[in-house]
Homo-oligomer: A and B are copies of this chain.
Amino acid sequence: MAKSQLLLSLFLFISISETISQSIIQLSRDHNDVYCSSWRFSEETNDVGYWDHVPSRCVSYVQDYMTGDGYRSDSEVVASYALGFAKTVEIAGDGKDAWVFDVDETLLSNLPYYALHGFGSEPFDDLSFDEWVDLAEAPALQASLNLYKELKQLGFTVFMLTGRSEYQRNATVKNLQLEGYSDWERLILRESSDQGKPATLYKSQRRLELINEGYRIQGNSGDQWSDLSGFAVSERSFKLPNPLYYIP
């Protein structure tokens, strides 16, 4: 065989091998994306139940989703439906038409923290998360900030109901204000008697207190089902995406 023929054969062999291995990698990635998209469906609809970390095969899928167009778009579309509903509410003018917002992954995004902690692949770590909260550097979720401002314009009374604790009030207020939130009616945090309560119970009890004060909770925005379910629920609930962690 001539030298040129040998080189051509070698070149063809390498090209074909590369093409095949690229195709296998792509197929396997597509297959994984289909599974991880289904995992995300199941955790967002609360079918998974309790989970404490993102399945290892879905970590890079979640990273892509959170840092790409998906998360931003999902948040915007949820906010658009929330606003659409809000515009149908007849505001009585007595200041009692209320909207309840959760804070983390609803008004503020902890994505910078989770980007440094494996995008949900590591179990929750109180210590390092508390340090992050103290920095008061969480950016606003832009879609929620826009919705917040529109709701204020429409005349809603806004409550913030968060799983954060009273000792985090100053850092939380500072962070919210730095990011452009203002004129809320009340920021409700866990008191010492609330520690250890499931979020669903704690948040339901606090919503019931608002209802007993005469507020009509028209809307409720949160990234966890425990923000939205239980008792004393709002007229309409708006579930924001969060494939990073689950709070029961």
Contacts and interface: CB of A to CB of B under 8 A. Distances in A.
Given A239-B45, A239-B47, A38 B76 contact: yes
A73 B239 contact: no
A237 B225 CA distance: 13
* This protein's copies in its complex: 2
A159 B23 CA distance: 46
B81 A41 contact: no
B39 A77 contact: yes
A81 B237 contact: no
Q: What is the interface of chain A mostly: helix, strand, loop, or mixed?
A: helix
Nearest to A229: B229
A238 interface: yes
Q: Indicate the member of A37, A47, A241 with the most B CB atoms within 10 Å.
A: A47
A85 B39 CA distance: 15
Contacts of A77: 35, 38-39, 41-42, 47
A82 B44 contact: no
A124 to B, nearest CB: 21
Interface string A53-75: 00000000000000001100110
A42 B73 contact: no
Interface in A26-49: 34-35, 37-39, 41-42, 44-49
Interface in A4-26: none
A46 B239 contact: yes
A38 to B, nearest CB: 4
A210 interface: no
A80 to B, nearest CB: 8
A197 to B, nearest CB: 20
Contacts of A45: 44-45, 78, 239
Contact of A49 (B42, B47, B85): B85
Given A41-B241, A45-B78, A47-B77, 17 more contacts: A35-B77, A37-B70, A37-B74, A38-B70, A38-B74, A38-B77, A38-B78, A41-B78, A42-B74, A44-B44, A44-B45, A46-B239, A47-B237, A47-B239, A48-B81, A49-B81, A49-B85
A34 B77 CA distance: 11
Contacts of A48: 81
A82 B47 contact: yes
A117 interface: no
